Amino acid sequence: MATTPPTRSPELRKDPVTNRWVIFSPARAKRPSDFKSKSPENPNNNSSSCPFCIGNEHQCAPEIFRVPPDPNWKLRVIENLYPALSRKLDHPNGQNDDSSSELSGLGWVVAGFGFHDVVIETPVHSVQLSDLDPSEIGDVLIAYKRRIEQIKQFDSIKYIQVFKNHGASAGASMSHSHSQMLSLPIVPPSVSTRLNSMKEHFNQTGKCSLCQVQSKDLLINETSHFFSIAPYASSFPFEIWIIPQDHSSHFDELDNKKAVDLGGLLKLILKKMALQLNNSPFNFMIHTSPIQVTDSELPYSHWFLQIIPQLTGVGGFELGSGCYINPVFPDDAAKILRELNVPI
């Protein structure tokens, strides 16, 4: 008769990158191998009215560029039809004057200038990002880089957030595979906190926290230029980070060769997640450095791609404390994903 394995004791861990405390409480979940999404994402395959499908370009907001630049495109970058910020509020060169930022009696106010773009990753409605081959995913990554290089010409833009919402419960309003880029006139607090935390680690150890983070117990897969891990203090069950092997501060330092390499690893990880987690909705975010990062910040600033499957909700404790409760230890998650064989 099989015996039930002993339950691990709860632990509190602090992430040296995000500066966030996480409570690992395995008693709050079943076995990690049984951790599945309760609401798998089933994309709507009705492409007749989808503005992101090839042939429906006239239904979209203005196009910024497409690849290749002809009617049979593979990907398009367009303006968001419902942008969070306005690209029309500022001067043509993106220069803000002092009056655009002021301290009122209630707090700071900054004019809502910025760019909110959509990257349509494929012309075919039923194709997901993980269905593309590594070079095609690499093209999507290079499109991010190209758009970042365009936006960096605007002096008032301080930070560019690349992100993907897959599935309605992850925030995707369109089932056609796409990602987004939001260019901000401020550096978000979480970015400042991350940089300050990485600076503190660097001052204490003389080393970049992400250059040191690789561990056999936390490693999932690696390539020539990137490795994927379950982070030591992961806030969410089966959270995954993909990190450049070589120290790199800005995502837009990515070249074509590394983009294909990253595309292959991202494809593998997304396939493993879909198989293990019942095609769970997910978010991914590219955490890069602010555009105007100083030379002194470069030694400890290291970009990475974070993937969060939508398996648990965020409750009052998390919202009130800033701490998270994770029912799955990262080494357990890493072992399950590492040993999972997925045909590519």
Tell me the binding residues for Zn(2+). 50, 53, 125, 176
Give dist(CA 215, CA 232) in Å, integer. 9
DSSP state, 50? -
Residue 225 falls in the annotated catalytic set? no
- Report the DSSP pairing between strands 282-287 and 159-166: antiparallel
Sequence-distant (≥ 6) Cβ neighbours of residue 153 within 8 angstroms: 93, 94
Q: Indicate the residue type of 341.
A: N
Sequence-distant (≥ 6) Cβ neighbours of residue 96 within 8 angstroms: 90, 111, 113, 155, 156, 185
Sequence-distant (≥ 6) Cβ neighbours of residue 43 within 8 angstroms: 126, 128, 175
The residues with which 178 forms a beta bridge, in sequence order, are: 120
The distance between the two most distant Cα atoms of the chain, rounded to a whole number of Å, is 74
35 to 13, 29, 311, 325: CA distances (angstroms): 21, 8, 8, 15
Give dist(CA 107, CA 184) in Å, integer. 18
The helix/strand/coil state of 220 is strand
Question: Which segments are annotated as binding site?
Answer: 50, 53, 125, 176
DSSP for 6-45 reads: PPPPPEEEE-TTT--EEEE-GGGSS-GGG---SS------
Is the Cβ–Cβ distance between 304 and 335 less than 8 Å? no
Give dist(CA 293, CA 303) in Å, integer. 12
**Catalytic choice (58, 91, 116, 178):** 178
Is the Cβ–Cβ distance between 231 and 213 less than 8 Å? yes
Q: What is the 3-state secondary structure (H, E, C) of 197-210?
A: HHHHHHHHHCCCCC
Catalytically annotated residues: 178
